[in-house]
Amino acid sequence: MAVFKPENVEDFYEIGEVLGSGHFGQVRQVRERTSGNFWAGKFLKIRKVACSRLGLDRSSVEREVEILQAVQHPNIVALKDVFESRAEVVLILELVSGGELFDFIAEKENLLETEAIEFMKQILEGLKFIHCKNIAHFDLKPENIMLSDKVSKPPNIKLIDFGLAHLFHPGEEYKSTSGTPQYIAPEVISCQPLSTAADMCVLSFLRLSGLSPFQGDTDEETLGNVIGMKYEFNEHYFSLTSPMAKDFIQKLLMKNPEDRMTAEECLLHPWIKPITPKQVAKRNRSSINMKNFKKFNARRKWKVMKSADSCNDAFLQRQCESDVEDTESKPASLLRRRLSSSS
Ligand code: ATP
């Protein structure tokens, strides 16, 4: 059971600038008074009354804390401490100061597939680690893939935000309608039981070509394409992508979660770990279409900013675990609810 310290966080940490905002509060830089070291304080508002729509259930924060405590890995943000006051819980996290991976990439003039693979490898190492512990992240998206700092070479990836993560107990059937519309697995949309395989499907959406193979003209169409796993590699956008990268993506884009590659299998795929000299050469010749990537990233940032303006969907994200029974019978309303958070 996680220990939430009852002391005032400000007695131990000086509160500094805002680093980011989530749906339930802010993340601020904090400075430890004794050591002078910098950390990130994630300030989460706790719901005071069970039926209130403001704030989080304490149990939901307990889950996030317990999971963070269980996942100590170089590619996962570390949790140092937890403080609790009447209205708030503060998680003291490792300060991740390199910004988002996608912003780092978007600033580059070009990116070889081999460089993209190095990033993908670190994401996979983090996922392999948590999946081995029967934990799924369930909210993988560009905003939650950060770089530890701006100086490390190669850059060190940190997966953040375990607010929707789930620890599977043996034999447990878990359903959730939580997630971000652009980055959800088909089994989430169709309210099927979930597993760590949902993270793997989403990973393929994050591949660095800058265009989703499911992209429809509207979000509704995109979600329809995801459910049906209807996609194509448009030559115009994927002409620079190597056949091995396409094979890698295809093996993640399996409708049946059991048919998808696991993180462990991904790390052994020839795109990530080439064996023959021919495979190495093919990787070296391919690159990422940066024009598409920059366009995709700019559009993504705009969407994130827009959604930060409306906190409506926020509440739903963690809340809807308990809504499953209700939403199961109402896929159309589920779709609308999700769409409202993405447009
Ligand atoms: P959401 O509602 O989007 O799920 P959240 O309330 O769970 O968000 P986080 O995603 O954990 O909060 O954090 C919000 C933002 O704060 C992040 O996008 C990031 O910019 C920043 N942030 C979070 N953790 C850290 C950290 N350890 N170091 C630096 N910045 C961080």
Superfamily of domain 99-294: Transferase(Phosphotransferase) domain 1 (1.10.510.10)
pTM beyond 0.80, yes or no:
yes
According to the model, what pLDDT value does residue 208 have?
53
The CA 21 to ligand 1 mean position distance, Å, reads 6
How far apart are the CA of 160 and the centre of ligand 1, in A? 7
The protein residue whose alpha carbon is closest to atom 11 in ligand 1 is: 161
Residues framing ligand 1 (Cβ under 6 A): 19-24, 27, 40, 42, 77, 93-96, 143-144, 160-161, 163, 314
What separation in angstroms does the CA of 266 have from each of 1, 30, 179, 201, 255?
A: 33, 37, 23, 12, 17
CA of residue 249 relative to chain centroid, distance = 17
Establish whether 139 is a catalytic residue.
Answer: yes
CATH superfamily of 9-94: Phosphorylase Kinase; domain 1 (3.30.200.20)
Name the residue at shortest CA distance from atom 5 of ligand 1: 22
The domains of the chain are located at 9-94, 99-294
pLDDT tens, residue by residue, 43-102: 999 987 777 777 888 999 999 999 999 999 999 999 999 999 988 999 999 999 999 999
CB contact at 8 A, 24 and 314: yes
pLDDT tens track for 314-332: 334 454 333 333 333 333 3
Judge if ipTM > 0.90.
yes
Measuring CA to CA, how many Å separate 275 from each of 47, 65, 113, 119, 272? Answer: 53, 40, 16, 19, 10
